Amino acid sequence: MKCIKRTLSVNGKLPNFVEDECDIPTILNSHEIKVQVKVCGLSLVDEKILHDLYKKSIKEEFPLGHDVAGIVVDIGEAVTHVNKGDHVVGILPLDSKYSGCGEYCIFQEYNVVRKPHHLSFEEAAASIGDCVKAYTALYYLGRVGVGDTVLVIDGATHFGSITIQIAQHWGAKVIATYSSSEEKQYLDTLQPIQTIELNKKNNVLASNIREETGGIGLNCIIDNGVRLFTDDEDITLCNEVYKYPLPHKHDVISCLGFSGRWITSKSDLQLDPPDCQQLFYRGASLSFLFHHSWILTNCQQGKYQHVLKDSMKKIADGIIKCKITETVKFDNVMSVLKNLPNQRVGKTILTF
């Protein structure tokens, strides 16, 4: 069976993507299910994380595509959660041997849920990963509730837009940042919402937040990465690597109110003593957002199943609306993957 895999980048360049053969076992373990992939949501995992997970095995190629919707075609002898023929959606673990960008893949039965019948495979696969990430950020880390004020940095990304919709549904006031007219236009469709422009020239995040909140500050901030330093070399490097503006960590801390929660996607975040002192004086907290932790451990399967089911229900009921910007076939996916890091609005999916 053909599938797409990725290799680590060399000298900071973009990763390479290769077409490979993947063997699917004919005999499954007791709790495994075999899924015929109908749609796979495309996204790239930070290669530092892949390197840490696979450094002992010294792998050169890594599976690609983790958000999958498909049909169960075979089950292990102890499987009770799903049956053959069920339409399911789930997330492949980062340490899986199987790529979602292939015709078939193997799941553990508790890593999938049944897809609602009136929900398309496309919407399910496009949303499931970002829904789990948003739930993790808002509920388990941010404890967001009615009346809270939440800042979502890069709100027009697919994860950002789903985070905004869930926060609004839970009664929170949402402020989002954008860096282009296309992003602003999309965010305007998610009203009621306040927006702040971030670009490579201005530094107005903290002052705008003070104005929007009357100087009180924010209850929760969910970032999409931050800058660690203020020197010109660091700013230039961030602009070259990310191709979009990042707020400085001090600006993010300055936006927090009393008992505020900062949820960061920056895996190698460094805080200096003055930064920690500012968090201390605010009674604030810092959490790291890594939603793949749910399926790298087996100790929270009940909660994880609840998140998956509730996500699917909200999408099926129209509470969460996903934006699919591009649908590609297997033969064209290689060229699309190279431009994926620059995608700022919506989601790209692979269909079989």
Average pLDDT over every residue of 145-154: 96
Q: Going by CATH, does the domain composed of 146-288 fall within 3.40.50.1820? A: no
294-339 tens-digit pLDDT = 888 777 888 999 999 999 999 999 999 999 999 999 888 888 888 8
**Strands, sheet with 256-264, edge to edge from the N-terminal-most edge strand:** 194-197, 173-178, 149-152, 218-222, 256-264, 285-288
* pLDDT 10s digits, 220-245: 999 998 988 775 555 555 555 556 68
pLDDT digits (tens, 9 = 90+) for 188-225: 999 889 999 987 666 689 899 999 999 999 999 999 98
Q: What is the mean pLDDT of residues 274-300?
A: 92
Tokens of 36: 């015929």
Query: Are 2-127+300-351 and 146-288 in the same CATH fold?
Result: yes
Confidence class for position 89, pLDDT limits 50, 70, 90? very high
CATH tag, 2-127+300-351:
3.90.180.10
**Displacement of CA 50 from its chain's centroid (Å):** 15
pLDDT band at 168 (very low <50, low <70, confident <90, very high): very high
| Domain range list for the chain | 2-127+300-351, 146-288
Q: Percentage of the chain surpassing pLDDT 90?
A: 64
Query: CA angle 90-140-207, nearest 5°?
Result: 115
Supply the pTM of this predicted model: 0.91
Question: In which band, very low, low, confident or very high, does the pLDDT at 19 lie, cut at 50, 70 and 90?
Answer: confident
